[in-house]
Amino acid sequence: MTDSDRRIYVTGAAGLIGSNVVQALLTDGHAVIGIDNFWRGTQANIRQLSAHSKFVFRHADLAADQRWFISRTLSPVLATCSRTSGRYSRRTC
């Protein structure tokens, strides 16, 4: 696998921070796989991103299904998924 084939995984991609991280990575020319279960994130947050040729979105619950991380090579993962309630936040993947 070459650098140009490499994908960066962003978990919580439909959330506030995740969707902005995806946008920044695409702007920098990276290929991105975004994962979210829409527990809190929204379709609206990824609508514009979905039109990008280097963005793939997977609807998955990472607490139950981590197959998206199975890869022949190590891939960078930016984890932004969490459950937030008021001032409290809990990692969920």
Alpha helices, DSSP H, located in the chain? 16-27, 43-50
Q: Give the CA-trace dihedral at 37, 39, 45, 46, to 10 degrees.
A: 10
Report the residue number, 47 or 83, with the smaller CB distance to ligand NAD.
Answer: 83
Q: Could you tell me the smallest distance in angstroms from the CB atom of residue 2 to ligand NAD? A: 29
Strand partners, 88: 85
Residue identified by tokens 């991380």 is 69
| Angle (deg, nearest 10), helices 16-27 and 43-50 | 10
Report the residue number, 72 or 90, with the smaller CB distance to ligand NAD.
Answer: 90
Residue identified by tokens 């990472």 is 62
Report the residue number, 1 or 24, with the smaller CB distance to ligand NAD.
Answer: 24
> Judged by CB under 6 A, does residue 17 bind ligand NAD?
yes
Q: Which stretch binds ligand NAD (CB under 6 A): 1-9, 23-31, 55-63, 70-78?
A: 55-63
> Judged by CB under 6 A, does residue 49 bind ligand NAD?
no
Which residues would be at the binding site for ligand NAD (CB under 6 A)? Answer: 11-12, 14-18, 35-41, 61-63, 80-84, 89, 92-93
